[in-house]
């Protein structure tokens, strides 16, 4: 792909072997979701070929592209797409541009398949959140072309890099993030290599953030198991408040070292990254656990475990999908705070057993999409509390 200011053009080629018969192929264009589109974001598929032949396709909603195709379970399908992406300016989003700094994640058409279920076509959300679902893929090669004088940062381990091209690859990731700009950078080798890039004009110090990242990762690795990727890349960007997690890469707002954001987004490398979820159907499966990770790291558990912070209207609603939270400002309290509180109260009963069960849950559900039933099966100690907050039903 080529990145130039607001404009990204590229091709993607993927080999998809469905685990059940398909009558169509479905891709999501998340950059065309309404909130970003209002700020000038746009995304389009410009060509489709399946097994080497051009195919018709239709865009059945702003974020859904369908390609008619009959395929059998277990038979590989090679799909090649051309796409364009126009980045918004001034959006607090995973897509953005300021001058020569450009960033995007979920920026390539994303295959909407969920193993064991089929196509996920839930609507986008207007919350500062995701509604995407993606199984893992072997990222053979991600090529990012850019203007001379800029630095490209991206998901995956670096394969090669020149003044105008970065190539990365990754054994198993469920999505990709990219940032290009005149970044100030710092790296630490550590057990998990960390690279931080800061957009010029922002006060953040890359070496300080890299050291903080390393410390948070040490704590997370001790609790949840090995870091799932070759390295972690952090791009500090304008217009983002908070942070947005992607496999092996985090898009971070400025001055987030003062709060829990960095620890939280790093927690997502295990919860959303390694153990995936349908972020539209079960947003708590990544957000409650990332908030839990952050609370343990920062010693802030007591601010989550009390029910007094929770408005009556959100009590028992942690398990609701993003469609329920549409237009409800209580999403954060209902899902993040209430969900993390349930996990933290459960852990308090027997921290050693809870930590062991959670490591088993992570190992058992790694590289797949977990459901509430998977949590209930592996994290039995948390089931009563998770029932109480409505995360697990039945």
Q: Which is nearer to Zn ion, 204 or 265 (CB)?
A: 265
- Which stretch, 41-49, 187-195, 281-289, 302-310, contacts Zn ion (CB under 5 A)? 281-289
Give CA–CA dist 231/264, Å, rounded: 17
301 neighbors 295 (Cβ within 8 angstroms): yes
Let me know if 364 is exposed, middle or buried by CB neighbors in 10 A (0-12, 13-18, 19+).
middle
* Best CA proximity match to 379, nearest among 280, 292, 314: 292
**Interacting residue with Zn ion among 85, 290, 293, 322 (CB under 5 A):** 290
Q: Which is nearer to Zn ion, 212 or 287 (CB)?
A: 287
Q: Which is nearer to Zn ion, 109 or 273 (CB)?
A: 273
Q: Which is nearer to Zn ion, 112 or 335 (CB)?
A: 335
Shortest separation between residue 10's beta carbon and Zn ion, angstroms: 27
Shortest separation between residue 340's beta carbon and Zn ion, angstroms: 10
- Which stretch, 70-78, 148-156, 176-184, 287-295, contacts Zn ion (CB under 5 A)? 287-295
Shortest separation between residue 267's beta carbon and Zn ion, angstroms: 8
Does position 250 interact with Zn ion (CB under 5 A)? The reply is no
- Which stretch, 90-98, 167-175, 284-292, 293-301, contacts Zn ion (CB under 5 A)? 284-292
Other residues' Cβ atoms within 10 Å of the Cβ of residue 374: 18
Does position 335 interact with Zn ion (CB under 5 A)? The reply is no
CA 20 to chain centre: 26
Strand order of the sheet with strand 96-98? 96-98, 101-105, 177-181, 151-154
Q: Which is nearer to Zn ion, 290 or 386 (CB)?
A: 290
How many degrees, rounded to 5, is the angle at CA 391 between CA 390 and CA 393?
Answer: 70
Give CA–CA dist 224/222, Å, rounded: 6
330 neighbors 314 (Cβ within 8 angstroms): yes
Q: Which is nearer to Zn ion, 199 or 263 (CB)?
A: 263
Shortest separation between residue 392's beta carbon and Zn ion, angstroms: 20
**DSSP secondary structure code for residue 271 in this structure:** B
For Zn ion, the binding residues (CB under 5 A) are 287, 290
């Amino acid at each position: 792909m080529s990145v130039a200011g607001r404009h990204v053009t590229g091709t993607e080629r993927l080999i998809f072997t469905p685990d059940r018969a398909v009558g169509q192929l479905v891709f999501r264009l998340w950059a065309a979701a309404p909130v970003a589109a209002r700020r000038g974001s746009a995304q389009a598929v410009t060509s489709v070929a399946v097994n080497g032949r051009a195919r018709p396709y239709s865009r059945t909603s702003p974020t859904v592209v369908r390609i008619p195709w009959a395929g059998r379970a277990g038979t590989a399908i090679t799909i090649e797409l051309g796409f364009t992406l126009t980045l918004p300016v001034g959006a607090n989003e995973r897509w953005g541009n300021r001058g020569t700094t450009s960033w995007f994640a979920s920026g390539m058409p994303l295959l909407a398949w969920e193993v064991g279920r089929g196509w996920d076509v839930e609507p986008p959300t207007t919350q500062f959140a995701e509604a995407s679902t993606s199984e893992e893929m072997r990222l053979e090669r991600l090529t990012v072309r850019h203007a001379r004088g800029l630095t490209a940062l991206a998901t995956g381990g670096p394969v090669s890099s020149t003044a105008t091209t970065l190539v990365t690859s990754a054994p198993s990731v469920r999505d990709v993030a990219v940032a290009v700009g005149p970044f100030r950078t710092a790296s630490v080798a550590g057990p998990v290599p960390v690279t931080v890039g800061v957009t010029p004009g922002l006060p953040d110090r890359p070496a300080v953030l890299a050291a903080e990242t390393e410390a948070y990762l040490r704590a997370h690795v001790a609790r949840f198991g090995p870091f799932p990727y070759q390295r972690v890349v952090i791009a500090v960007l304008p217009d983002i408040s908070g942070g947005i997690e992607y496999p092996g890469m985090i898009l971070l707002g400025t001055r987030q070292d003062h709060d829990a954001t960095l620890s939280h987004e790093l927690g997502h490398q295990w919860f959303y990254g390694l153990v995936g979820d349908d972020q539209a159907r079960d947003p708590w499966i990544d957000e409650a656990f990332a908030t839990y990770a952050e609370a343990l790291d920062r010693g802030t558990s007591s601010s989550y475990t009390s029910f007094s912070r929770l408005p009556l209207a959100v009590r028992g609603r942690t398990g609701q999908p993003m469609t329920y939270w549409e237009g409800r400002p209580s999403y954060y309290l209902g899902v993040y705070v209430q969900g993390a509180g349930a996990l933290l109260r459960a852990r308090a009963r027997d921290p050693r057993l809870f930590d062991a069960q959670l490591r088993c849950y992570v190992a058992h559900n790694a590289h797949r999409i977990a459901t509430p039933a998977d949590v209930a099966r592996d994290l039995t100690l948390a089931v009563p509390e998770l029932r109480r907050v409505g995360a697990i039903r039945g």
